[in-house]
Amino acid sequence: MPPAPRFEGPVSDCPLCPRLADFRHTNRRQFPDWHNGAVPAFGPLDASLLIVGLAPGLRGANRTARPFTGDYAGELLYPSLLKFGRAAGIYGAEADDGLKLVDCRITNAVRCVPPANKPTPAEQKTCRSFLVAEMAAMPKLRSILVLGGIAHAAALSTLGLKKSAYPFKHGQTYSLEGKLSLTDSYHCSRYNLNTRVLTESMFHAALKQAISVI
Ligand code: URA
């Protein structure tokens, strides 16, 4: 088997989306001690599980430089990964907490924080090139857990698959080509958790399902 291609994520000051670059520069002036850059994925490239989120939160991943770290959504995601053996250590909501992912990688559909947490369709499309390259560089990838509709759409487009054939449905696992599976979960955002669109047990069930197909 030929070696998997190397993966280079976006440079921290990625210029590809002008609106996101402007937002980043504004944030840099306002919060000079924060990361304020494209947030690199977390976890090994030889993982069999890939979790795809939406985009860094302003005061969370955009500050700490690690996906979901310091974000409300990370308060459910990381303890769940610890519970199901896909993380080791203690989640301390900072990138230097020593937490390790185990056969698991976490990335985002859009790697720079968007205003109001809403990336435009053009930004989603532009950033997808990094997800394409990242997935191509994961030789053991078997299972993708997507958090929310935007991550679902990004994963399908990355694989050249149509949304009409694979509609988003929380808790659904699709068998894709080869040995790859895609599991849908509602995003573990503050809004979804507070409105109980998503509960802890629903999230655990989806994560367990994504792990069980590996
Ligand atoms: N933080 C992230 O890194 N991604 C999300 O989708 C939400 C919060």
Q: 16 falls in which pLDDT band (50, 70, 90)?
A: very high
Summarize the confidence of residues 59-87 as an average pLDDT.
98
Rounded Cα gap, residues 57 and 117, in angstroms: 7
Q: 143 falls in which pLDDT band (50, 70, 90)?
A: very high
Which residue type does 163 have? K
Domain that holds residue 73: 18-212
| Helix, strand, coil shares, percent, the chain, to 5 | 35, 15, 50
60 lines ligand 1 (CB under 6 A): yes
Per the domain annotation, does 5 fall within a domain? no
* Residue 116, domain CATH: 3.40.470.10
* Bridge partner list, 101: 87
Per the domain annotation, does 7 fall within a domain? no
Q: What's this model's pTM, rounded to 2 decimal places?
A: 0.98
Q: Counting atoms of ligand 1 from 1, which one is nearest the CA of 67?
A: 3
Rounded Cα gap, residues 104 and 60, in angstroms: 20
Rounded Cα gap, residues 161 and 143, in angstroms: 16
pLDDT attached to residue 172:
98
Distance from residue 79's CA to the centre of ligand 1 (Å): 15
Q: 177 falls in which pLDDT band (50, 70, 90)?
A: confident
What is the per-residue pLDDT across 30-40, written as a single tens digit (0 to 9) for each?
999 999 999 99
Q: Which of 204, 128, 141 is nearest to 171 (CA)?
A: 204
Per the domain annotation, does 3 fall within a domain? no
**Quick check: 46 pLDDT over 90?**
yes
Q: What is the DSSP string of 85-138?
A: TSEES---SSTTS--EESSEEEEESS-SPPGGG---HHHHHHHHHHHHHHHHT-
Summarize the confidence of residues 50-76 as an average pLDDT.
98
Q: pLDDT over 70 for what percent of the chain?
A: 100
37 lines ligand 1 (CB under 6 A): no
Q: pLDDT over 90 for what percent of the chain?
A: 95
54 lines ligand 1 (CB under 6 A): yes
Total domains present in the chain: 1
Q: Counting atoms of ligand 1 from 1, which one is nearest the CA of 189?
A: 7
